[in-house]
């Protein structure tokens, strides 16, 4: 997916290889924020992508690290099923 200058656009990929899958929940945990679903597309040592799914406030997308493979903050719960 191609990166976009707007972090809340579906398909945005941040510098840590976290992909925005879109708006998940309009009730974020930060002031006036919504929760977006992110997927980690970081390639691991075994050659597979991490694939971890988690939620993040829109204001955090640009700097998020994966909670599973990059020691990032725990993700917010997702409302929708992305599997």
pLDDT digits (tens, 9 = 90+) for 21-79: 999 999 999 999 999 999 999 999 999 999 999 999 999 999 999 999 999 999 999 99
pLDDT value of position 60:
96
Give CA–CA dist 27/82, Å, rounded: 18
Give CA–CA dist 25/52, Å, rounded: 18
Q: Is the pLDDT of residue 83 over 60?
A: yes
Instruction: Compute the Cα dihedral for 75, 6, 2, 26 and give only its sign.
Output: positive
pLDDT value of position 63:
96
Q: Give residue for tokens 């998940």.
A: 24
pLDDT value of position 8:
95
Q: Which residues pair with 76 in a beta bridge?
A: 55
């Amino acid at each position: 997916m191609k990166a976009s200058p707007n972090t809340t656009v579906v398909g945005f990929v941040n510098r840590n290889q976290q992909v925005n899958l879109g708006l998940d929940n309009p009730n974020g945990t930060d002031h006036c924020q919504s929760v977006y679903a992110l997927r980690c597309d970081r390639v691991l040592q075994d050659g597979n992508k991490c694939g971890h799914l988690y939620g993040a406030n829109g204001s955090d997308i640009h700097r998020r690290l994966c909670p599973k493979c990059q020691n990032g903050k725990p993700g917010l719960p997702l409302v929708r099923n992305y599997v």
